[in-house]
Amino acid sequence: MPTSDQSLAIGYNYHDQTDTLQKVGLTIFTLGLLLLFLPSLPVSSVLGQGLFWSGIGLSLLGLVLYLIQTYQKSHPGVRNNGVWLRGSTSRGNIAWVTAVGLTGFYIILYWFPFLIEPQIRALDSFSQWLRNKPADHWLLYGTFYTIAILIMGLRALLKYRHSPYQIIRTLSVMFFQLGLAYLIPYTLQKLNEPEFYFSYFWPLKYDYLFPGTVGYLVNEPGALGVFMVFWSAVISLVGVPILTYFFGKRWYCSWVCGCGGLAETAGDPYRQLSDKSRAAWQWEVAIIYPVLGFIVITTLLLWINSFMSGGLLGSLSDGFAQTYGFFVGSIFSGVIGVGFYPIMGSRVWCRFGCPMAAYLGLLQKHFSRFRITTNGGQCISCGNCSTYCEMGIDVRWYAQQGQPIIRSSCVGCGMCATVCPRGVLNLENGPREGRYQPTTLISPENLRILS
Amino acid sequence: MRVIIIGNGVTGVTAATTIRKLDPTAHITIISAESEHFFSRTALMYLYMGHMQYRHIKPYEDWFWPERNINLLHAAVQSVDFNAKQVILENHTRIDYDKLLLATGSLPRTLGIPGENLAGVQGFYSLHDLAQLEQYSANIPRAVIVGGGLIGIELAEMFYTRCIPVTFLVREPYYWGNILPEAEGTLIQEHIRAHGIDLRLNTTVSEITGDAEGRVKSIITNKGEEIAANLVGVAVGVKPNVSFLENSDLKINRGVLVNQYLETNLPDVYAAGDCAEILPEPENKPVVEQLWYTGRMQGETVAHSICNRRTVYNRGIWFNSAKFFDIEYQTYGQVPAVPAPETDSLLWQHPKEKKLVRINYHQPSGKVLGFNLLGIRYRHEVCEKWLKEEKPISYVLKHLREANFDPEFYRRHEKEIIRTFSRQLSAVLS
């Protein structure tokens, strides 16, 4: 909480004009959410299923109504009005309630899924239809996750409707989540094929290149398993460098990835909460690269172990997957990564923990045509770019000196360029030569901030 | 060398960081009455609108100053003893200097009409103005803005985001009529009106009336109409903040008079930014420049002069930018409201969207003179190069694509623009 450094504006007289239709939308949304809890009461399974699906339907209907009415009232353009004056988006009471709620959901999901057994059972018929299997808590999670990206994607489409870049990018994350991270893996299950996520790669989906997974897939009947191994290896080791060379890290982090997809849609109201300080950057570097190193070394060791028929590590693979999965997969990317959206911003996991982001970032920094160009001497140092950078990059530091922004953490969401009131910033792919060249129209502050 | 800089705006701070680069051992102190740290004045509107908090508009984190060994003094200066080379603070402390930079910025200009001192009549320039605006705009049924320039429209947008109805008085026959050509002004004022702002053209205020508590109650326009409002935003420009320097040997006209090296008439005393009035050459008119960009450039220049590397202030090819609600504006070179003699103008406007491109050129020679852009971004470097090299308009049209700086996937309009311009050009030639 920035208690010692409040905005002069905070808490004076900000008021939104919320009209009747918006209020009706919010009411329906809340009623829908309440219905989701009702299957936990001692009711028949048919009734429970009805209540659950009505809850999903009503909450979506209410939210759509609210969002459309909210955004159609304003002209297309940057609308961050009141973001730092409203508690919900500036770490106020509502933000804390939301954070505790989200975190609680993750804790129940990971460690106490029996508490939501009635809700899971309500998904059984759907699960049978989708993948010929009864529902489990991961199906419930995947369904909620996908719905969140789709509905909040709609919000992003409405909010950023003046920006073709944001529209196309948002459609992209919605498409990849719904198709490659939801429908296709479950359809594969229905066809008795391995559940496989074509939009997740090593080292984020670290086990896709572990000997255990590879062996399992290759031994699957039919050619699909072999193709999956081929796909994983080729994209991770060849596709990633090539695509990052041409487009920067963004092709994955803010266009394809599911974690990024949630951050860009459901996390969009919280993007301004990322920590922009130099200290946060030091933490970032100190955490993310060791995570990547850990994954790389472990993968190598496991392969050596596999070639030595277990002579090196024995059955460490299982133990590793469990430990790493618990600390990094569950706690870091789930509980902190998403649960703390309303407090720490939407990209905590991507910024501090994701080994894929670290790998892509190294490529982006040293081997890419991507940069964010600053337009000559036009920067007025206002700070909108830095404030709305979800990765906590102090974009202004570079812009006010006329330097191109080439940071390994930049996911290329384009929001700095979208919110800049002077049109100073532009995401560009161009020749690598002179990529770091600052403009001659301002003299730069020569001292570097992180040496 | 002990350098004192009065004023921690963009001019003073740019001067300080530049001096630090040129002279690693200089003892630099920046004095400001307004704030402890440098903040972006252009971003004040975003605090009121809730886009940012105060900490976000500080361009440097607080560690920056001790690490650069730049002392910050949050205090008010009462006067300067130029003979003793001392700055005198309001608490009567005297601070010695070897070199002094005056970068005191501006004050909002006043109207000079009855009722101007009522509570709720104010300009919008400083942190203090922002705090006052918060106080006086709470729960008011209407605000009036006087003055159709950049601050006027900023105030209009600010009130709009707080759901406060606005009446916006503009003296000129169209918005920003003393700077913009009519097509640009008209396009912007349509956009202003589309936000439900009550825009009154050819209108000024002649009197402000108050209630028993001394607060604004209404204004009376030059047309005799009374408009009820509890806040009057005065946005009729700024004037150099130099009154505390009067009655000394320092030569002051509108601002502190400086030569092209930004030196005042007194030894080791310099002035730059909004508060300086530059006498470039004897035959030219003195100028006061009050932009963020010119402040930054003057700060850099004066730092060189202070560090014994006398440098002539040269602002180069003119440029400026702004945003009118959602319409971005950029200008490069000279595009005056009324075209200068022997100037022709090519104008393209999007049939539906709020986009406009104007290119001025010298009619006999064809060399390009300036660009005005609304809703389309051009590259600063490219425009600057064309203007500096006096490229002919035919060259500019041929290479127009290179100038575009719009984001990826934005619809490009070069084809229509070039077609329109070619038609206009051939009409001129035939």
pLDDT tens readout for residues A1-12:
333 344 444 444
Are the Cβ atoms of A376 and B68 closer than 8 angstroms? no
End-to-end CA distance of chain B: 65
Are the Cβ atoms of B54 and A445 closer than 8 angstroms? no
Nearest residue of B to residue A74, measured between CA atoms: B195
Please count the residue pairs, one from chain A and one from chain B, whose beta carbons lie less than 8 angstroms apart: 175
ipTM of predicted assembly, 2 dp: 0.95
Nearest to B407 among A5, A14, A165 (CB): A165
Are the Cβ atoms of A386 and B127 closer than 8 angstroms? no
- Please state whether beta strands B106-108 and B121-122 pair in parallel, antiparallel, or not at all (unpaired): unpaired
pLDDT tens readout for residues A406-443:
999 999 999 999 999 999 999 999 998 888 888 877 76
Q: Which of B379, B334, B373, B338 is nearest to B355 (CA)?
A: B373
CATH number for domain B121-236, candidates 3.40.50.150, 3.40.50.1820, 3.40.50.920, 3.50.50.60: 3.50.50.60
Amino acid at A260: G
Are the Cβ atoms of B380 and A12 closer than 8 angstroms? no
List CB contacts (< 8 A) between A383 and chain B: 40, 43, 46, 52, 56-59
List CB contacts (< 8 A) between B314 and chain A: none
Residues in Cβ contact with A356 at an 8 Å cutoff, skipping those fewer than 6 apart:
A201, A203, A204, A252, A257
Q: Which of B230, B145, B183, B176 is nearest to B349 (CA)?
A: B183
Q: Over its length of 430 residues, how does chain B's per-residue pLDDT go in tens digits?
A: 999 999 999 999 999 999 999 999 999 999 999 999 999 999 999 999 999 999 999 999 999 999 999 999 999 999 999 999 999 999 999 999 999 999 999 999 999 999 999 999 999 999 999 999 999 999 899 999 999 899 999 999 999 999 999 999 999 999 999 999 999 999 999 999 999 999 999 999 999 999 999 999 999 999 999 999 999 999 999 999 999 999 999 999 999 999 999 999 999 999 999 999 998 776 677 889 999 999 999 999 999 999 999 999 988 899 999 999 999 999 999 999 998 899 999 999 999 999 999 999 999 899 999 999 999 999 999 999 999 999 999 999 999 999 999 999 999 999 999 999 999 988 876 6
Are the Cβ atoms of A165 and B409 closer than 8 angstroms? yes
CATH number for domain B319-429, candidates 2.40.160.20, 3.90.79.10, 3.90.550.10, 3.30.390.30: 3.30.390.30
Q: Where are the domains of chain A?
A: 17-75, 87-366
Q: Is A101 helix (H, G, I), strand (E, B) or coil?
A: helix
Confidence of residue A449 (pLDDT cuts 50, 70, 90): very low
d(Cα B393, Cα B402) in Å, to the nearest integer? Answer: 14
Are the Cβ atoms of A382 and B326 closer than 8 angstroms? no
List CB contacts (< 8 A) between A81 and chain B: 49-51, 161
Q: Are B2-107+239-306 and B121-236 the same fold in CATH?
A: yes
Confidence of residue A450 (pLDDT cuts 50, 70, 90): very low
* C-beta separation of B231 from B207 below 8 A: no
pLDDT tens readout for residues A188-201:
999 999 999 999 99
> Which residue spans within B136-248 are E strands per DSSP?
143-146, 166-169, 198-200, 205-210, 216-221, 226-228, 231-234, 238-240
| A451: pLDDT strictly greater than 60 | no
Are the Cβ atoms of A377 and B49 closer than 8 angstroms? no
Identify from B52, B57, B315 which residue to disrupt to test chain A contact, counting A C-beta atoms within 10 A and taking the largest count: B52
Are the Cβ atoms of A441 and B21 closer than 8 angstroms? no
* Adjacent-strand bridge partners of A373: A426
* C-beta separation of B388 from B380 below 8 A: no
pLDDT tens readout for residues B149-189:
999 999 999 999 999 999 999 999 999 999 999 999 999 99
Residues in Cβ contact with A126 at an 8 Å cutoff, skipping those fewer than 6 apart:
A135, A143
| A249: pLDDT strictly greater than 90 | yes
Are the Cβ atoms of B17 and A14 closer than 8 angstroms? no
* C-beta separation of B380 from A378 below 8 A: yes
pLDDT at position A301 is: 85
Are the Cβ atoms of A386 and B330 closer than 8 angstroms? no
Closest CA–CA distance from residue A150 to any residue of chain B (Å): 22
Nearest to B407 among A277, A387, A426 (CB): A426
DSSP B85: T
Nearest to B137 among A7, A13, A447 (CB): A13
d(Cα B221, Cα B232) in Å, to the nearest integer? Answer: 12
Closest CA–CA distance from residue B43 to any residue of chain A (Å): 5
Q: Where are the domains of chain B?
A: 2-107+239-306, 121-236, 319-429
Provide the Cα torsion B30, A394, A425, B372; round to 10°: -20
List CB contacts (< 8 A) between B330 and chain A: 378, 422-423
Residues in Cβ contact with A19 at an 8 Å cutoff, skipping those fewer than 6 apart:
A69, A73
Closest CA–CA distance from residue B243 to any residue of chain A (Å): 27
Nearest residue of B to residue A86, measured between CA atoms: B50
Residue entry with tokens 């029996």: A114
pLDDT at position A8 is: 42
List CB contacts (< 8 A) between B379 and chain A: 375-376
Identify from A84, A251, A386 which residue to disrupt to test chain B contact, counting B C-beta atoms within 10 A and taking the largest count: A84
Nearest to B138 among A12, A80, A384 (CB): A12
pLDDT at position A312 is: 66
Q: Which of B27, B37, B36, B30 is nearest to B15 (CA)?
A: B30
d(Cα A434, Cα A423) in Å, to the nearest integer? Answer: 22
Round the average pLDDT of chain A to a whole number and report it: 90
| A445: pLDDT strictly greater than 60 | no
Q: In angstroms, what CA-CA distances link B64 with A148, A157, A272, A449, B422?
A: 41, 38, 22, 9, 52
Are the Cβ atoms of A381 and B49 closer than 8 angstroms? no
List CB contacts (< 8 A) between A9 and chain B: 47-48, 50, 53, 130, 134
Nearest to A426 among B54, B130, B405 (CB): B405
Closest CA–CA distance from residue A22 to any residue of chain B (Å): 16
List CB contacts (< 8 A) between B135 and chain A: 12
DSSP string, A46-84: HHHHHHHHHHHHHHHHHHHHHHHHHHHTS-SS---TTTT
Superfamily of domain B2-107+239-306: FAD/NAD(P)-binding domain (3.50.50.60)
Q: Which residue has the higher pLDDT, A306 or A380?
A: A380
d(Cα A193, Cα A197) in Å, to the nearest integer? Answer: 12
Closest CA–CA distance from residue A10 to any residue of chain B (Å): 8
Task: Return the number of other C-beta atoms located less than 10 Å from residue A377's C-beta.
Answer: 23
* C-beta separation of A410 from A416 below 8 A: no
